[in-house]
Amino acid sequence: MILTKDQKEMYDGKFGEGASKALKILMGIGKAFGAKRMVEVSKAHISLSNQEGDLWFVEQLYKAGAHCRVAPTVNPAYDYEYFSKITDIDGHDKDVIVRTIDTYRKLGAILTFDCTPFFEQNVPRFGEICSFSASGGSVYVNSVIGARTNREAAQSAMCSAITGYTPEYGMLLDENRKGDILIDVKADIKTQFDYELLGYYTSIKMGPEYNMPVFSGIDKATASDEALMDIGTQLNIHGVVPMFQILGVTPEANTMKDAFVDGNPKHVIEITNEDMEKAYNQISRRTGKVDFAILGCPHLTINTVKEIANMVDGRKLVGELYLFTSSTTKDLADRMGLLKKIEDAGGHIIINSCVDQPIWGHLKGGSGVTESPKCAYYTTRRDLEFKVRSIPECIEAVLSGEIR
């Protein structure tokens, strides 16, 4: 692998043992993927977790004197002070997350605790080389913004933040950003929930042999930022999709020639209304009692928070309602009077956290509803079971106490 003068000095330890270790890890990854050189990154995002492996890794780097050259944003942890008031948190879990957050802070991370950094705080430019972990973040950066990142692990993204470099392979190269299958959408795709179902079912129907879908037949007018975020997120439940394209919508797919090598897809599948109904029935078929709703996987935008606030305005919830979002969005909701509407109805806006955390002991045994197939998938390991419906259906469910 060809190294620059700065990289050679880092390898040799001029900038400390921690930076040298981080660079050597990235070089090992690069060699595994045939990278010929390292390239500079200007933005990074890390899928911080409350897992012991993550803690062990970052503590080793910190003890070796590492510090971030490129300050990364981070994924949600959990607000243990908030949740300790309503549920019992295992002492070990709390210790792991407190130490993890403290180590990330010392390494120089920006503690956003937000899984949608591409909307605020950490927004790349078209063509900018980044190192983003978290499948939802990396797929949005590649697909919707047109910046360039591989689908990093938390560890490789942290190494890039420390060194300022990443190996040049995969999604950083032009030839690897072309589609490998055309998804001809014959279904009526109108709502944000339609996009979630489309992403969820496409990854099942196209199978694991494809990971770069290009969609045709989608009306640009329906492709909101939230819809594009959701389709990418759901594509990665059953698949490993670093990038998707929508003809006439995403920036690298104005035409078929842009989207495919030689402009011709070698494989085509259709998504019909019947497919969408099948997807809906797979995840939404159950009815009955509802005790709680958890919305915001990925984090809700201010537009969605506003819609929910208007749905519950002047009404009282029968079930519990938890909305996950960023601290910036919660501040906006407070200033706009939306937070008061939600809290007056009995709901909660939660920051710094997400569904995939050990904080749901008080909900075990209850019946939940969510707008996110990813939420329902994640929380099976927390002994929670969800019905999946659109946001309006979820809100009506916790207002009435049942899903119809």
Distance CA 201, CA 90 (A): 36
How large is the average pLDDT for residues 142-154? 97
Over 90: is that where the pLDDT of 78 sits? Answer: no
How large is the average pLDDT for residues 346-361? 87
Query: Tens digits of per-residue pLDDT, 256-273?
Result: 999 999 999 989 999 999
- In this predicted structure, what is the pLDDT of residue 285? 65
Confidence at 70, pLDDT banded by 50, 70, 90: very high
How large is the average pLDDT for residues 55-78? 96
Average pLDDT, the chain: 93
Of 381 and 348, which is predicted with more confidence?
348
Over 90: is that where the pLDDT of 275 sits? Answer: yes
- In this predicted structure, what is the pLDDT of residue 166? 98
- In this predicted structure, what is the pLDDT of residue 381? 64
Query: Tens digits of per-residue pLDDT, 284-339?
Result: 767 789 999 999 989 999 999 999 999 999 999 999 999 999 999 999 999 999 99
- In this predicted structure, what is the pLDDT of residue 41? 98
Over 90: is that where the pLDDT of 378 sits? Answer: no
- In this predicted structure, what is the pLDDT of residue 201? 94
Tokens encoding 173: 């190269």
Query: Tens digits of per-residue pLDDT, 202-247?
Result: 999 998 999 999 999 999 999 999 999 999 999 998 889 999 999 9
Over 90: is that where the pLDDT of 154 sits? Answer: yes
Confidence at 382, pLDDT banded by 50, 70, 90: low
